Amino acid sequence: MSTQAPNPGRVAGKVAIVTGATSGIGRATAVLLAREGASVVAAGRREELGAELVGQLLAEGLSIHFIRTDVSKRQDTERLVAGAVARFGRLDIVVNDAAAFLYRGVEDTTEEEWDEVIDTNLKSVYLVCHDAIPHLRAAGGGSIVNVSSVHAYATMERVAAYAASKGGIVALSRQMALDYTRDRIRVNALIVGGVDTAMAHKHAAALGQTLEDTGFPTDDRVLGRAAHPEEIATGILFLVTPDASFVTGSPIFIDGGLLARL
């Protein structure tokens, strides 16, 4: 499947922060935004994968910078936003994609596990946006996309912390959209289904299963199949361009029809 951007230059001159950018949806989004003309600051915890991403995009002549970031930590998110603005002079786009997954029910989840999932998935959105919003306002407006999940609407057994965190992202995105509409800052939650990522395969394997065994077929003709990360990235691209100027406060479903199934 081609990862080349369909309309080069749609975010030319913009500066974007993408969290969770070392793999999966985040990496695909960082690549696509850079190929569409944005200067991208990629955030993640794995420096070796960050360096690989930077090397790939610099070889294409694109504008990319990596900042090692644990998005659950206040000092890291402050450094991320400050570093992005110091390097590129402004901020226009924020994509919050960092995520942690856990197969546990409430009784089986330790407090430490609960905090890790909630802090990585939900608290991180607050932390990044807390420091990013003043810069988006200073730029005359911008777009925030917070990656949520179908688990915010219809879930499965033993994913208590993950479902709670993804539901929180939807509510927080809706509320932020109300607060910042006068600043011309659009905020949307992206609702994704299964995605063919290393994280998804890892957790399926932990159950002794394949991704398809967990309910996400790989046949492109089937509703609810696992998406390619690039298919999610194209939805994010739309939301951060002027084409989506009237879209804010909305849950945007890109789930391959997963929630359409009984």
Q: Which residue has the tokens 């939900």?
A: 122
162 flagged as catalytic: yes
Burial of 160 (0-12, 13-18, 19+ CB in 10 A): buried
74 HSE (CA, 13 A, CB side): 1
Residue with tokens 């090692």: 68
Cα–Cα distance measured from residue 241 to residue 259, given in angstroms and rounded to the nearest whole number: 26
Among 103, 126, 153, 162, the one annotated catalytic: 162
Q: At what angle do helices 24-35 and 229-240 cross, to 10 degrees?
A: 50
Return the ∠ at Cα 22 (arms to 18 and 27), rounded to 5°.
Answer: 60
Buried b (16+ CB within 10 A) or exposed e, 60-76: eebbbbbbbbbbbeeeb
Active site residues: 162
